Amino acid sequence: MRMRSPVLRLAAWLCACGVALPLLARAQGPANRSAPAPPPPAAAGAAAGTAGPGPGAGAGTPAVVALKAARLFDGRSDRWVRNGVVVTAGGKIQAVGVGAAIPPGAQVIDLGDVTLLPGFIDCHTHLSFEASDDYNRDALNRLRRGVAEAAIRATANARHTLMAGFTTVRDLGSAEFIDVGLRNAIRDGVIPGPRMLVAVHMLGARGGHADGGGWAFKRVGEEPGIDRGIASGPEQFRDAVRFAVKYGADVIKVGATGGVLSLSDEVDTPQVTQAEMDAIVDEAHRLHKRAAAHAHGATGAKEAIRAGIDSIEHGSFLDDEGLRLMKERGTFLVPTLLAGEYASGRVVPRHYPPEIAAKAAAAVAQRSATFRHALELGVKIAFGTDSAVSPHGLNAKEFALLVAHGMTPAAALRTAMGAAADLLGLAGQIGTLEAGKQADVIAVPGDPLADVTVTERVSFVMKGGQIWKAGGVEK
């Protein structure tokens, strides 16, 4: 979309960087007062709204589009149907199925020997950065790059993710409010990307996984406080939740235990008290936000589960008690198997400080047995990759790992469909191909129930009724 004036170009850049625009709007003066005002910032429930202008938008766009394909998997059943049809209009699905009526005058797009699917949902991403194979180089690059450069790079990550067929993501931790700006720019049609629910900062204890330790005192700035998610005691953590929500969070994330890619903590050690965790989850739910817990260790994970957390992220060392609690309470597990493949160096060699390499090896050694036990117990699974540990746009590689760890292809696909939408609180809007839901439709070659890796070769992407990719060609 071409901007016709320097003011609009500046507005797009500022939006991508997370800068609020009211002052700019006033600076344009009376000549622009007839222009429609931008929509308000999205909350979790509004995050599934139709995106703004994009490829195919405008006066020439047909009012009704009918997609046809050799197969259709609606995200609810265990099988696909032949000769599937999806009819869309106004950004919503109007009809689905073999016998779906195609209204006169509709644009009919026959995609051929592909399978139509609901747009994928990734419940654990970090679009505002991406790791390389060199930990120390990444640390230096983060210091060298300003907010503007990081935001511009984030737009590329968002595009890669959308073109891979992921039309919605939950972004679980950023810096400098880049995730908020990215979400808003995508929502307003300034840049292409998936619909986003964002966490702003991960909340956590001083010296823990959320604190970014490993540096000498004040070498990289002042000690962080609630403005960066770091707090102590139940009341401070309540305030940290409120701060995050004030500045745009759709979801709250807490570091319940240590992490792999942090220098100042042990991977399985609990990092907040039960009272602090209770306050975090209670405040999030009081403000109508879901809450997610980064948790490798069993003790910290169980504290989060008892507090009523909505999902456990990673869960590498969960024990029987923790998994049974999750089953009883309906807590989701987001296993992020792909992150383990990259962090452990199984995909490509990674150059880490020794303490991080040891933590990565320990976590990946345990995660497979834990995940299989979770499946045996019937714990709810939602799709998540922790993309940024792995390159953005490769999210679909998680499906093959889910199948390799015991899921059927259909069950693995549904983790990124209805199950993920349920976790995000958006089950009525996305996640399955049903009339009335957002027109998020993708296509993959062949049969994903016979070969789930075809999900890694998405050829068609429609998000909110707008076509972003067709015949494998990006718009």
For the segment 432-437, the average pLDDT, to the nearest whole number, is 98
Q: Are residues 114 and 131 in the same domain?
A: no
Q: Does 256 map to a domain?
A: yes
Cα dihedral value 254, 260, 261, 264, nearest 10: 80
Q: Does 178 map to a domain?
A: yes
Q: Are residues 221 and 356 in the same domain?
A: yes
Q: Are residues 175 and 314 in the same domain?
A: yes
Q: What is the pLDDT of residue 208?
A: 79
Residue 363 pLDDT greater than 50, yes or no? yes
Q: Are residues 171 and 94 in the same domain?
A: no
Q: Are residues 348 and 371 in the same domain?
A: yes
Q: Does 39 map to a domain?
A: no
Q: Which two tokens stand for residue 405?
A: 């760890």
Q: Does 106 map to a domain?
A: yes
Q: Does 34 map to a domain?
A: no
Instruction: Answer for the pair 291, 171: CB distance below 8 angstroms, yes or no.
Output: no
Q: Are residues 329 and 462 in the same domain?
A: no
For the segment 25-37, the average pLDDT, to the nearest whole number, is 33
The answer to whether the pTM exceeds 0.95 is: no
Q: Are residues 372 and 460 in the same domain?
A: no
Give 35-74 pLDDT, tens digit per residue.
333 333 333 333 333 333 333 333 345 689 999 999 999 9
pLDDT above 70 as % of the chain: 86
Per-residue pLDDT band for 304 (boundaries 50, 70, 90) equals very high
- CATH code, domain carrying 449: 2.30.40.10
Domain C-terminal end among 395, 424, 446? 395
Domain C-terminal end among 348, 368, 395? 395
Q: Are residues 143 and 168 in the same domain?
A: yes
Rg (CA), the chain: 22
Residue 252 pLDDT greater than 80, yes or no? yes
Question: Per the structure, how many domains does the chain have?
Answer: 2
Q: What is the pLDDT of residue 352?
A: 86
Look-up of token digits 């959320």: 210
Q: Does 247 map to a domain?
A: yes
Q: Are residues 262 and 373 in the same domain?
A: yes
Q: Does 14 map to a domain?
A: no
Write out the residue range of the structural domain in which residue 93 sits. Answer: 64-118+433-474
Give 335-344 pLDDT, tens digit per residue.
999 999 999 9
**Which residues, listed in sequence order, are joined to residue 351 by a DSSP beta bridge?**
134
Instruction: Answer for the pair 329, 305: CB distance below 8 angstroms, yes or no.
Output: yes
Q: Does 100 map to a domain?
A: yes
